Structure 1
């Protein structure tokens, strides 16, 4: 919400070529408690003043020599073509009201002034203007917060990947149907396959020549939604050598307890397994 203090502290510019009108409006507004008033009788100065101060309200006379209020409004629109230009026009010509609104004015007051009406329209316009600014600021803060959170998540994921790479050869995730959704690390190069080939489980098993008994145990763990630690299984690689992998994984669940898949880490332990299998020299 916009407080009375916010409204009375709003920046207001009075533009009129008649000094008596300027003095009348200034006196009325100061008497109502408005604190930040600026005035000019030079229409050519309005755009520069607004560019420098970004007024919350511009009280603009339409009938001025050299440059009328319509021309001033065209100049103001160029300063902030996509923004909310807060213009309250002052006119003694009823026929100019529709044209003023079409030119960008948000409201109008007629000469001679009805001081109660003028104060009411100024108050209402400032309330709308300040609410608009609050909404605009909130949107900017929200965009910045989203950008910061996205950057934090990206950095967090990068840190996690780096830690995973230090502790294992790869990190993986599967969805509830057992399809791989994320694979970080050199496992695909180790297997000599592409990410796309992981989508077809039957073809994958045939092409990679897994040990079926070991795979059955691993599948039983997954089917039971059990975590598994340092599970070793093997396959025959393209050179006819047995290749060993050690994997650990845990099931993932959403906030409602629904199973959403698995995630885990793995590493190639072929060298270790071959060393263990070597007969020790007497």
Structure 2
């Protein structure tokens, strides 16, 4: 994010002074220094509209002007700006005006009578900072747009993924890091016959119907799945079964993968499940 010498020399500069001699002096000084995009006005009331149209990189502003002084011009500019950065260097022969100008938002000042070396140095430094500021703002805007685009793409991809998994399975599920379900789609509750809290807690041992607790889950299968989840390992087509109160044995296959955030912190599992006619 470097600013080149040519970037600085191509920057747009507006000179605002009611004295024609002062305008001519500054225009000549800037031209001799190699600046290529310099304009001027002797009418301070035009500055607001000119800035809205051209968004200058730098305004060289005289403070002592009739009809509208430099302080009033800066207040007008604040109304017309899209951000809070006022790209103004004030020109003044009054030492007492310098602090007030800075308090009004000016970024620097040049003392009158003008010293050529001082003017060139302050203008160069000011433009370098200003162009860096603009480039950073453009970069942040691009970054924000990129993040929004990637977020939209991620949401679309996630929606497609869920649609595909729902087509290829009987249910889709997600758990948080504590093993609690956060998302379930499909008839999982009806198929499993229980209100599931976690594949790894005691709810898999029992289910409740009409306040009567019934068993039916295979303890060895439950323990094996617990060990896989505790190790944060993915699993594919893990088979388990459940015997209903009527004696019917139902078979299922479930697949899952652990999820991690951008800091590699474990945040849960996601996966799919299907009911089988018999144990694979």
The bucket for the TM-score relative to the shorter chain is: 0.7 to 0.9
Q: 2 CA distance for matches of 1:156 and 1:145?
A: 16
Distance 1:188 1:134 in 2: 55
Cα displacement string for residues 132-179 of structure 1 (whole angstroms, at most 9, x for unaligned residues): 111111111111111111111111111110000110011224466644
SS in 2 for 1:85: coil
Structure 2 residue aligned with 1:135: 136
- Normalization by structure 1: what TM-score? 0.83
Residues of 2 paired with 1:253 and 1:67: CA distance?
63
The 3 A distance-change label for structure 1 pair 261 and 81 is closer
Q: CA deviation at 1:203?
A: 4.1
Query: Measured at CA, do residues 259 and 13 of structure 1 come closer, stay the same or move farther in structure 2, by a change above 3 Å?
Result: closer
Residue matched to 1:211: 216
Instruction: Name stretches of at least 5 consecutive residues in structure 1 with no aligned partner.
Output: 274-282
Task: Map residues 270-281 of structure 1 onto 2, 5 A cutoff.
Answer: 272=277
Greater share of residues in helix? 1
1-structure distance, mates of 2:89, 2:268: 61
The answer to whether residue 57 in structure 2 is matched with residue 56 in structure 1 is: yes
- 2:102 aligned with 1:101, yes or no? yes
Q: Which residue of 227, 250, 263 corresponds with 1:244?
A: 250
| TM-score normalised over the length of structure 2 | 0.83
C-alpha RMSD of the superposition: 3.0
Q: How far off is 1:232 after superposition?
A: 4.4
Deviation at 1:261, TM superposition (A): 5.9
User: Separation in 2 of the partners of 1:217 and 1:192?
Assistant: 17
Aligned length: 267
Quick one: distance in 2 between partners of 1:78 and 1:15? 18
Cα deviation, residue 117, structure 1: 0.5
Per the alignment, residue 278 of structure 1 pairs with: none
> Which residue of 250, 267, 274 maps to 1:267?
274
Q: For residues 106 and 260 of structure 1, what CA distance do their matches in structure 2 show?
A: 48
* 1:206 CA displacement: 2.1
What is the distance in 1 between the residues matched to 2:201 and 2:272?
19
SS at structure 2 position matched to 1:55: coil
- Per-residue CA deviations over 1:32-52 (Å, capped at 9, x if unaligned) read 111111100000000000011
Unaligned stretches of 5+ residues in structure 2:
209-213
Work out which of the residue numbers 205, 223, 226 in structure 1 matches 2:227: 223
The alpha-carbon distance between structure 1 residues 198 and 217, as it changes in their structure 2 partners (threshold 3 A), is: closer
Pair 247,38 (structure 1): closer, same or farther in 2 beyond 3 Å: same
Alignment of 1:142-221 (within 5 A): 142-174=143-175, 178-191=179-192, 197-198=197-198, 201-203=201-203, 205-207=205-207, 209=214, 211-213=216-218, 215-221=219-225
Contact 1:171 1:185 (C-alpha < 8 Å) held by counterparts: yes
